[in-house]
Structure 1
Amino acid sequence: MKLTLFSAGLFACLFSMVSATALTYKIGANEKACFYALAEKKGSKIAFYFAVQSGGSFDINYAVTGPGEKVILDGEKERQGDFVFTANEVGEYKFCFDNEMSTYSEKFVDFEISVEDEVRAQLPSKQGSTPEQTTALEESIYKISGQLSTIARNQKYFRTRENRNFSTVRSTESRIVNFSLVQCLMVICMGALQVFVVQFFFKGARKGYV
């Protein structure tokens, strides 16, 4: 299976140009899905985040390849990952998830791909302001941006934990229900067997066996 995915949104800020895509995708058993991002400039920063939210043992195989099918990142049976690398070549970068190791479990994967250009826009200078004031404002903006990124990463982490805990609770509940049904069935079968044995021993034609 091959899916082509380019940037779904473009966010322009004072210090950089970023294109990013965040999706939740269901990967079926024995399925491989690939997504693509385009780096238009050499030296762009590409961020790649993923987390398995439910299914199986919450693990997935992944691989990131650049132009010319050069492998940049790969891993097997990983639950989540958060990477940033530099695009040394202009072109299309491929991000693949492989669930071929699973014979029956489908998995839900949250992932985000963002491409950020390093070119920074110049802040408009106010009449009468000094370069030191402009620099201080830029540093404040960069600091706020870093703190927002930290908050976003923490939110992703807690969301992943919440989804996995809910999946564990649902799995445990299903097992308890199934065990209770089996137990009830066994009690019914034992009761029927006891009735049959009692009838067998006290049946008129077999009184001699008592």
Structure 2
Amino acid sequence: MRTILLLSSLLALFTSTVYGTALTYKLGANEKSCFFSYVEQKGAKVAFYFAVQSGGSFDVDYSVVGPNEKVILDGTKERQGDFVFTANDVGEYRFCFNNEMSTFAEKMVDFEIAVENEARAQLPSKQGTSPEQTSVLEESILKLSAQLSTINRNQKYFRTRENRNFSTVRSTERRIFNFSIIEGVMMVTMAGLQVFVVRFFFQGARKGYV
């Protein structure tokens, strides 16, 4: 019973204040869109993840700008990214996606912005528990947290791969259909041209006999 109570206390202590936003946005051609997140505490951890699910070459330009207009992260023609940085200033952070390089292609961008305030308190001392037991439970919780983060990243990766592969299949199917239509039109045109040439030869031969 004491072990269960201690484990509950550890879970409560290691639970950080996390608030975030996960969205899927359709970025039009020649469009630049920005999203904002307000950080209330200096030193908070900001996690930024994005992946281009469909459109064009599955790439996009991105940038992260702090409250003092300082560029924290930026990149060009990236397919996906997973970043964590420390917010050194309190204020509004700007996360932008730029598709101005594309003339016609629209991009479907899946992204997530999470702000985590890691305020870790001291573990309370329980009667009948040793520091070794507390340390073992603490390490177990940290391992579980790391494994959950790994599972979450793997799920995002496989989801992105699935969407991209499905987009490739749809593109290939559309090209095969268009090629079949063109091939059918060419066959009908060639058949009509052959009939016209044969009739022209026969009509010319009859005129020669007359």
Q: TM-score range by the shorter chain?
A: 0.7 to 0.9
SS in 2 for 1:89: coil
Q: How does 1:1-210 map to 2 (within 5 A)?
A: 14-15=13-14, 16-122=16-122, 126-203=126-203, 207-208=207-208
Determine the C-alpha separation between the residues in 2 that align with 1:179 and 1:14.
Answer: 62
CA drift of 1:92 comes to 0.7
Determine the C-alpha separation between the residues in 2 that align with 1:123 and 1:110.
Answer: 38
- Report the TM-score when normalising by structure 1: 0.88
After TM superposition, the runs of 4+ consecutive aligned structure 1 residues lying more than 4 A away are 121-127
Pairs aligned (count): 198
Determine the C-alpha separation between the residues in 1 that align with 2:207 and 2:61.
Answer: 69
Determine the C-alpha separation between the residues in 2 that align with 1:171 and 1:103.
Answer: 18
Q: Is the 8 A contact 1:62 1:76 kept in 2?
A: yes
Determine the C-alpha separation between the residues in 2 that align with 1:186 and 1:121.
Answer: 76
> Aligned in 2, Cα 1:182/1:97: closer, same or farther, shift over 3 Å?
same
Aligned amino acid, residue 156 of structure 1: K
**Per-residue displacement from partner, 1:108-133 (whole Å, max 9, x unpaired)?**
11111111112124556554333432
Q: Which runs of 5+ in 2 are unaligned?
A: 1-10
RMSD: 2.0
Identity level (%): 74
CA drift of 1:23 comes to 1.3
> Aligned in 2, Cα 1:126/1:74: closer, same or farther, shift over 3 Å?
same
**Per-residue displacement from partner, 1:6-32 (whole Å, max 9, x unpaired)?**
xxxxxx954121112111111111111
Q: Which has the larger radius of gyration?
A: 2
CA drift of 1:136 comes to 2.5
Q: Which runs of 5+ in 1 are unaligned?
A: 1-11
**Per-residue displacement from partner, 1:142-183 (whole Å, max 9, x unpaired)?**
110011001110111111111111111111111111001100
SS in 2 for 1:33: strand
Q: Is the 8 A contact 1:200 1:206 kept in 2?
A: no
Determine the C-alpha separation between the residues in 2 that align with 1:141 and 1:180.
Answer: 58
Aligned amino acid, residue 144 of structure 1: L
**Per-residue displacement from partner, 1:75-100 (whole Å, max 9, x unpaired)?**
01000011111001011111000011
Match for residue 8 of structure 1? none
* Bigger fraction of residues in helix: 2
SS in 1 for 2:161: helix
Determine the C-alpha separation between the residues in 2 that align with 1:13 and 1:52.
Answer: 36
